[in-house]
Amino acid sequence: MTTTTPVLSARGLVKTYGKVVGLDGVDLDLFPGEVLAIIGDNGAGKSTLIKCLTGAVEPDAGEIRLDGAPVHFRRPQDARKAGIETVYQTLAVAPALDIAANLYLGRERHRPGPLGSVLRMIDKKGMRRDAEKALTDLGIGTLQNMSQAVETLSGGQRQAVAVARAAAFGSKVIVLDEPTAALGVRESQQVLRMIDQVRSRGLPVILISHNMPHVFEVADRIHIQRLGRGAGVITPRSHTMPEAVAIMTGATTLTETPGQT
């Protein structure tokens, strides 16, 4: 394990918002084919951390490497082009656009032939068809009408659209910021199964969640974030859920509770 190069790694990430410290020197490693969970209290810096990794915000300091090579993502599409797909906590969907338009937002496919190359027409039908397939692959059968505006969907259905978008286009890393927060039991299980599928395709996943049973069910390793700093990395075998929560809340530390090895 120690000799493998991490797919994605960060060293000493700092991000401040005025006087508010979002990240205070955080390290993170994501290895090939693993699911890395990030847990932490509200405001611990989980979203800020993944935003730095995915180009949504630029860190004030620190270094990010992709496959060992330093990268500098200035905007989300830089990370996207590098194969990193993200479901942000705010979902980042355009409410008035329909499901298919949202799945392909920012990477619309053009029609074949001169209609596409000269007139720049987008392939609405094809994108609709493939959007339907992407959602069915994910086991989300409740969304049938791809031309339904996203704002008319329930919170859970919107989340499903955002997750499907990441799953369909991710080629290197998939990052999910609380992807099951608004989902029902059945839909949450589907997302967990999707994470499993993605891992078996060899793609690593970063999963932020407040749901400890989910985290312990699916994660290979767990990065604990506390007050803007990394409080340590554990695994579902080394620590129990109560121990993880204790480290997360500061009731104990990783040095005090090293866990099973």
Binding site for Mg ion (CB under 5 A): 47, 89
Q: Which of 72, 107, 129, 237 binds other proteins (CB under 8 A)?
A: 107
Q: Which is nearer to Mg ion, 173 or 175 (CB)?
A: 175
Q: Residue 121 interacts with other proteins (CB under 8 A)? A: yes
Q: Quick one: angle between helices 185-200 and 155-169, nearest 10?
A: 10
The pair of three-digit structure tokens given for residue 206, joined into one six-digit string: 């970063």
Q: Which segment (14-22, 92-100, 103-111, 196-204) binds ligand ATP by CB under 6 A?
A: 14-22
Q: Which does 17 bind (CB under 5 to 8 A by kind): Mg ion, other proteins, ligand ATP, none?
A: ligand ATP
Q: Residue 46 interacts with ligand ATP (CB under 6 A)? A: yes
Angle, CA 73 vertex, CA 24 and CA 52 arms, to 5°:
25
Q: Which residues of 21-39 are buried (b: 16+ CB within 10 A; e: fewer)?
A: bbbeebebbbbebbbbbbb
Relative to beta strand 35-39, strand 221-226 is: parallel
Beta-sheet strands, E only, within the chain = 8-17, 20-30, 35-39, 61-66, 69-71, 84-87, 173-177, 205-208, 221-226, 229-234
Q: How far is the CB of 7 from Mg ion (least distance, A)?
A: 22
The pair of three-digit structure tokens given for residue 90, joined into one six-digit string: 């705010």
CA–chain centroid gap for 136, Å, is: 20
Q: Which of 44, 56, 167, 219 binds ligand ATP (CB under 6 A)?
A: 44
Q: Which does 42 bind (CB under 5 to 8 A by kind): other proteins, ligand ATP, Mg ion, none?
A: ligand ATP
Q: Which segment (40-48, 103-111, 183-191, 234-242) binds ligand ATP by CB under 6 A?
A: 40-48
Binding region for ligand ATP (CB under 6 A): 17, 20, 22, 40, 42-48, 89
Binding region for other proteins (CB under 8 A): 56, 75-77, 80, 86, 88, 90-97, 101-102, 105-108, 110, 119-122, 124, 149, 151-154, 157, 184-186
